Amino acid sequence: MWPWISTALALLWLVTVLAWWRSRRPLPAQADDRVQRMGQVRRDLEQACQRNDAVATKEGLLRWAGMRWQEHVPRSLGEIATRCGTVLAEHLRMLDLHLYGRHGGQWHGAALWEAFVAEGKANQSRPDAAGSELEPLNRI
């Protein structure tokens, strides 16, 4: 009797592993939809930078960061800056200062957009760019 029980449990375990493996893979339609949404977020961000709209630029950057780092979503421009190169990080700090600093004035988004595009090109040219972020030690 115990060989039948062991065989049944082994088959159930195998079915569980296969179901888990399939659930971890994104469906092709989901991947395409994510690419389209990311493209729309980038276009919205570019338009906000061209209009010199600091608030819309911040919102666009936070949406982009939420899609870029889905497991550990940045909640502020400062958090995004810590994950970017120095040039883009400096432009993010200047945007943050414009939004929350005492001195108002005109903000120009063209330089931020150029730094954003340059950062994207630099990350694409590095072969390890997609997997460069360390995984958390204690994943729950």
pLDDT at 23: 79
CA distance 132 to 137: 15
Instruction: Sketch the domain layout of the chain as residue ranges.
Output: 34-125
Q: Spell out, as residue ranges, where the chain has pLDDT lower than 50.
A: 127-131
pLDDT at 36: 78
pLDDT at 29: 61
CA distance 64 to 75: 11
What is the chain's Cα-based Rg?
A: 22
Distances (CA, A) of 109 to 25, 51, 55, 73, 115: 37, 7, 11, 23, 10
pLDDT in tens, 76-105: 999 999 999 999 999 999 999 999 988 767
pLDDT at 21: 84
Name the amino acid, one letter, at 113: W
